[in-house]
């Protein structure tokens, strides 16, 4: 890496998760939701009380996590 190297995209991973008694999936999900909440804050997606809205449908999580589309539902 040099000073001209562009930083790679990354997820924020809080230090307290390193020793937390959680599954790796839960830790990654926390990091993903934290990243999404930072994006929502930057876009101003808050209510009058300052609560941040995070929209991340379960199907999106599955696609992000597995990098494959979820199985289609049978009719």
pLDDT in tens, 9-32: 888 899 999 999 999 888 988 998
Average pLDDT value for the chain: 84
Of 53, 73, 69, the closest CA to residue 61 belongs to 69
Under DSSP, the state recorded for 27 is H
Determine the average pLDDT of the residues in 44-63: 85
């Amino acid at each position: 890496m040099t000073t001209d190297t562009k930083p790679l995209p990354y997820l924020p991973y809080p230090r307290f998760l390193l020793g937390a008694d959680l599954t790796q999936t839960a830790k990654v999900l926390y990091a993903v939701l934290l990243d999404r909440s930072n994006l929502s804050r930057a876009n101003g997606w808050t209510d009058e009380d300052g609560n941040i809205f995070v929209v991340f449908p379960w199907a999106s999580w599955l696609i992000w996590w597995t990098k494959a589309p979820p199985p289609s539902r049978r009719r």
